[in-house]
Amino acid sequence: MFLFWCFAFFFLQVPQLACSLMPICEVFGSCVPNVSWTLPTGEEISAHAVFSNAFALLLKLWRFNHPPIEHGVGDVPTVGSQLTPEYLLSVRNSHLVSAESIHKDRNKRRLSAVASSSYPKPIFVDSFPKLKVWYRQHLRCIAATLSGLIHGSQVHQTVEELLNMMFRKINRGNQSLTSVGSGSSGSSGVVNEDNSLRPKLPAWDILEAVPFVVDAALTACAHGRLSPRELATGLKDLADFVPASLATIVSYFSAEVSRGVWKPAFMNGMDWPSPAANLLNVEEHIKRILATTGVDIPSLAAGGSSPATLPLPLAAFVSLTITYKIDKASERFLNLAGPALETLAAGCPWPCMPIVASLWTQKAKRWFDFLVFSASRTVFLHNSDAVVQLLKSCFTATLGLNTNSISSNGGVGPLLGHGFGSHICGGISPVAPGILYLRVYRSIRDIVFITEEILSLLMHSVREIASSGLPREKLEKLKTTKNGMRYGQVSLAAGMTKVKLAASLGASLVWLSGGLGLVLSVIKETLPSWFISVHRSEREGSDGLVAMLGGYALAYFAVLCGAFAWGVDSSSSASKRRPKVLGAHLEFLAGALDGKISLGCDWATWRAYVSGFVSLMVGCTPTWVLEMDVEVLKRLSKGLTQWNEEELAMALLGIGGIGAMGAAAELIIEQD
């Protein structure tokens, strides 16, 4: 129920809130801050303050604070990469359906009422030209090196004014900051001791100039024209002047770190802040968190005598963030910069994240647990073996296969745990593997590798289940029941329950990791390839019970993957892709039954998979069967009949539609 209301909040409120914030940003961001207003509390606000508050909230709604690593990998974009301004507006506009088409659906009436409460017509990004210009600049900054600043233009003049404001206290004579800027900035001018008031410019004009300003300042620092402390102070002055500029600073630093062209900054305590005071402590706690979760990475070692370094843009960003006071006034902007800093550091080579965590724990000791936990997640982004061990821990915890750990009882509780803290003996409590995976899966780039490992762990779990006390009855002694499902004694039924649990976990992990695209890959490519290949267990000679349970596990896994992606009926838009993908899979099954495809897997595994998959379709997803080609259904039923699975074959044809009635009648006559 809680998850339902979370999704309901997103689909009802977040797009509408974003739509309401966009005109506020457009209007107040275009205002020159000539006047200010005093609130009853005595707080003085300006157009910049109103714009910055609205803009910061808008950015958080579409997960702006995640750098390019999360903008999709291969053909399967991550969930976070979908939450763009256009997407939020399209969701809001989709709720504006005509009254004639929603009068029978209460949920759609609610969506439509919420969406039309402020403005009853569709709204597009083109309605907000200033926001659109900034958003396009943001995307260009991510995609390519900064360019396009024309000498003497309005943007160039704004850059000069902002640099003078930020570094007016620095006496550099006639030496300019911008003249040594990287080729991307191309600006020139002289920084002088100008103590005049801050420039009266609209916020959108300032945001357009900020990338060039930060580029010039960072380049000056790289060339020794600006000290790290002066750089951090100047950036802080800019963020204090227009707090929304922090978003563009984040955008620039994220892009530059991903390019890897800046020299490293030595965090030695002289030029840059030093993490030495507690870096070893942070790294030791990271190893303990991983160990209690079942992940052992010997290569995760302390930095030793090597100096701590960070990429220059990351060093500048973390130095900027630690200049903020931890108070109510800074909270909303730390909430914007904090997640971006965390994700940015996670994408850099090890041990950048522990260094960042060490610097911040020196400033906010009460955040130690959270910062160390965040740092521990980055291990999985740099070590694929750690991901495999984490996935194995998820299966072990859920199935209760390890009595020496927190997963002794099995179930959802050990998988997801009961929170994280340092309230138990030893200073830190075990972190549930499922919680850890939920925090890292979006940043794992090789999701095809994840799928293969999940499938391998599923089959390994079946062997563990079969060896954990189930009797070794021979397959011919197992009773055959309706629709071909086999059951033996109570212990075998208990084993089947655990097999179903393992399959549901595997399907959930696949759906979570890659969504619709990854499920499509599993059904069309991964499973057929698995059945065609020869596995080690087949070469060594597998136990018949293990082979049978493995087939049923794969059947539950495949059907659950399809149910997550397409639904069990035709109400979702994703279900339109189901007939083609599922049809190709059933064609593969029929081809193997016809003898046209050679299989490498165990025969018992194959038979259990086919009978289990068809049984689940007949019993749980009859709509799927109706969408399939009748000729394929006939071939499947013929193969099942040859296995003495007449009841299952009849059930399949019975729900196959009018076209399958003839084949069903022929099967009845043959049985008589």
DSSP 49-74: HHHHHHHHHHHHHTTTTS-GGGS-BT
* pLDDT tens, residue by residue, 521-562: 999 999 999 999 887 655 554 568 889 999 999 999 999 999
**Domain stops at, among 99, 127, 155:** 127
**CA dist., res. 634 & res. 622, Å (int):** 16
Rounded to the nearest 10°, the torsion over CA 461, 466, 467, 470 is 150
**Domain stops at, among 73, 94, 127:** 127
13 within 8 A of 117, measured Cβ to Cβ: no
**CA dist., res. 609 & res. 544, Å (int):** 14
Same domain, 520 and 582: yes
Same domain, 240 and 267: no
DSSP string, 368-436: HHHHHHHHHHTHHHH-HHHHHHHHHHHHHHHHT--TTSTTSS-SHHHHHBTB--S-STTS-PPPPHHHH
Same domain, 389 and 514: no
Tally helices (H) and strands (E) across the chain.
30, 6
Q: Report DSSP state, residue 486.
A: E
**pLDDT value of residue 6:** 47
Residue 197 placed within a domain:
yes
**pLDDT value of residue 210:** 93
Distance of CA 663 to the CA centre of its chain: 47
Residue 350 placed within a domain:
yes
Same domain, 479 and 496: yes
pTM assigned to the model: 0.78
Same domain, 470 and 505: yes
Same domain, 509 and 626: yes
**Domain stops at, among 404, 434, 464:** 434
Residue 353 placed within a domain:
yes
**CA dist., res. 248 & res. 491, Å (int):** 61
CA angle 312–163–196, rounded 5-degree value:
145
DSSP 3-state of 549: helix
Same domain, 419 and 307: yes
Q: Which residues pair with 265 in a beta bridge?
A: 310
Residue 441 placed within a domain:
no
**pLDDT value of residue 179:** 45
* Low-confidence stretches of the chain (pLDDT beneath 50): 1-11, 65, 67-81, 98-100, 103, 171-174, 178-195, 302-303, 404-407, 421-426, 470-490, 541
DSSP 3-state of 444: coil
Residue 490 placed within a domain:
yes
Give the count of domains, the chain.
4
Which amino acid appears at position 119 of this protein?
Answer: Y
Distance of CA 536 to CAs 23, 459, 541, 551, Å? 62, 12, 8, 16
Kindly give the interhelix angle for 368-377 and 279-292, rounded to the nearest 10 degrees: 70
Same domain, 121 and 173: no
Could you give the percent of the chain with pLDDT greater than 90? 30
Q: Which residues pair with 76 in a beta bridge?
A: 73
Residue 581 placed within a domain:
yes
Whether the upstream peptide bond of residue 311 has omega within 30° of 0, thus cis, is: no
Structure tokens at 346: 């996670």
Residue 498 CB partners (closer than 8 Å, separation 6+): 399, 410, 465
Residue 576 placed within a domain:
yes
State the residue range of the domain holding 513.
446-671
108 within 8 A of 102, measured Cβ to Cβ: yes
Look-up of token digits 């394929």? 632
Structure tokens at 465: 């289940």
Same domain, 481 and 528: yes
**pLDDT value of residue 537:** 59
Same domain, 72 and 145: no
Residue 440 placed within a domain:
no
Q: Report DSSP state, residue 199.
A: P
Angular region, 37: left φ>0, alpha ψ -120 to 50, beta rest? beta
Same domain, 228 and 279: no
Same domain, 408 and 479: no
